[in-house]
Structure 1
């Protein structure tokens, strides 16, 4: 199978999918010729499936779940790098070719847009929930005026949204990975936890104020993700909109609109979120002073840095720094 990724990797088969199809409430180890680790799957009921993936591959793979008649009736929710947030923020300091693929995020999409890059020699930690449109509609029970919920549960329009993983999602994900429920109650446990993750995801999605949605196609989606990668490749320098427009091949208005539709933030706000996450990492893990962290990230006005840090992290940087010295 030929991948349409920027790396243009050609796949003779889809190993992750092939392994996944064999899963039924059990653990399947990754074949030694492919890497190390395992995939654990739970077929909870006909409308809800959950897969836990912990592995490291020997080669890069592109996982393209494709579009099929049955899959079109399902929504795929993929929680990427859900329980390694510290390492994932550290990845922001690595070369962009390796770091940008490993950030903690949750992606919810119709199957046609669920394309995932699996880098070699990196620990892949994720939880994937596949939920039928009908099951999701029964859970969410959208009311008149719930534009976003109606769109997602209609089954009529392809969509793709991505959110940064919240602390609550991370906590629940960690519980799923480390759980050892009684065998007789496994189905009940994983059903509750899968639905809890769905709930926490929609708590974040419903914070989005702009629910105007433009029809997506796979070409535009790939371009938007290239723009995201470009933004995250250098957090010390604010993104130049003119350059992003040129790279995308879109008009400025279309680029802004689709980026916000997928990621829930404007280009600049998205950049600032990760810029402040990096600042927090530099202060906490690399023990930089507040001024050193601010200057490292390109701030000449430390008062401005302090205001932004507090807005995104919740406390002033000096208090954050003092708290991590205890």
Structure 2
């Protein structure tokens, strides 16, 4: 079953939880339980700087939830998910991609979250003008590369940078912060700035590959997302580019141009990333051989598989199977401590 909510209905459900919200002794932090009609879990809202809020999500829905978001003014958001995914008409947060939602006019759209997903991640909310304080140019004004994130009365910019190991690591450090009081606030201030810097790094470096999927029509986005789902379901024996284009009803040219714009990588790059993610999960289970994993994710040559895996995770499949952890690896917790 899918629960469809207007933005107003969703806001009213969350307002009801405000009465039972828990104010931490920190004073700058409040914990909100997710509306029981929707699921279980909570969100922690922390005022890290004046006018800059950090939200830590740890919840799941009982049903598929679709939220209808109206045309509205929008602040600047930085989003990172360590678990789960949230899809909109214009892109997807999670499964290897973060999200920067710029300040400006947000178009009408739908946002969908599937049931039973463990949504674990962080969001930073702030006025776009604060970018001038944190990332000033030589003239003291906002860096020219970042002005697309402060559109005012124009359409907002939406960007989907890749989730790098460094981004994962900082997000996990934010979630697992054990400090209290002013030490906690100062620690989170540094981590919030670090997380924003990591997400903005391609933009600041003038990386032209980081674009806004708003240029794609909603119909095209739907078909590209369907192509993405086909690739995920057929890691062992994926269709050719020509076959994939025919299956989703677009041209191969649209696939070649649309995938980098929507998902930040080529069709082959996306397929390789998902194969490596799947391989890493299988290897961590420890009850399978490297050759079996290579075969399950579509590699007939173990050497090619090992090389691709090492490029992605900086360790070999055998090291992963032996339990050598990446510095950035995280363990998802069932609950988030109320304190620290």
Gaps of 5+ in 2: 22-27, 86-91, 326-340
C-alpha displacement of 1:170: 2.4
**Other-structure match for 1:68:** 72
Gaps of 5+ in 1: 1-6, 92-99
* Preserved contact between residue 276 and residue 312 of structure 1 (Cα < 8 Å): yes
**Other-structure match for 1:34:** 38
Aligned-pair Cα RMSD in Å? 3.7
| 1:106 pairs with one of 59, 84, 98 | 98
**Other-structure match for 1:317:** 317
| TM-score, normalised with respect to structure 2 | 0.71
| CA–CA distance in structure 1, aligned partners of residues 306 and 178 of structure 2 | 43
* Preserved contact between residue 80 and residue 93 of structure 2 (Cα < 8 Å): no
| TM-score, normalised with respect to structure 1 | 0.74
C-alpha displacement of 1:276: 1.7
**Other-structure match for 1:127:** 122
* Preserved contact between residue 149 and residue 157 of structure 2 (Cα < 8 Å): yes
**Other-structure match for 1:149:** 146
| CA–CA distance in structure 1, aligned partners of residues 210 and 60 of structure 2 | 37
**Other-structure match for 1:285:** 285
Deviations 1:211-251 (A, max 9, x none): 57675256144443333233222221234323433455443
Deviations 1:36-75 (A, max 9, x none): 2112113445652221111222222124554313x1xx23
| CA–CA distance in structure 2, aligned partners of residues 159 and 43 of structure 1 | 25
| 1:54 pairs with one of 58, 62, 68 | 58
- More helix per residue: 1 or 2? 1
C-alpha displacement of 1:173: 2.0
For the residue of structure 2 that corresponds to 1:199, the secondary structure is helix
* Preserved contact between residue 29 and residue 37 of structure 1 (Cα < 8 Å): yes
For the residue of structure 1 that corresponds to 2:160, the secondary structure is strand
| CA–CA distance in structure 2, aligned partners of residues 45 and 212 of structure 1 | 29
| 1:194 pairs with one of 187, 192, 199 | 192
* Preserved contact between residue 109 and residue 158 of structure 1 (Cα < 8 Å): yes
| CA–CA distance in structure 2, aligned partners of residues 233 and 159 of structure 1 | 31
Deviations 1:237-279 (A, max 9, x none): 2343234334554433233223202322111111101212222
C-alpha displacement of 1:101: 8.5
Distance of aligned partners of 1:243 and 1:62 in 2 relative to their CA distance in 1, 3 Å threshold: farther
Deviations 1:58-105 (A, max 9, x none): 222124554313x1xx2322212x2x5xxx7xx9xxxxxxxx996354
For the residue of structure 1 that corresponds to 2:312, the secondary structure is helix
Is 1:174 the counterpart of 2:172? The answer is: yes
**Other-structure match for 2:329:** none
* Preserved contact between residue 25 and residue 41 of structure 1 (Cα < 8 Å): yes
How many residues in Structure 1 have an aligned counterpart in Structure 2? 300
| CA–CA distance in structure 1, aligned partners of residues 69 and 187 of structure 2 | 27
* Preserved contact between residue 276 and residue 309 of structure 2 (Cα < 8 Å): yes
- More strand per residue: 1 or 2? 2
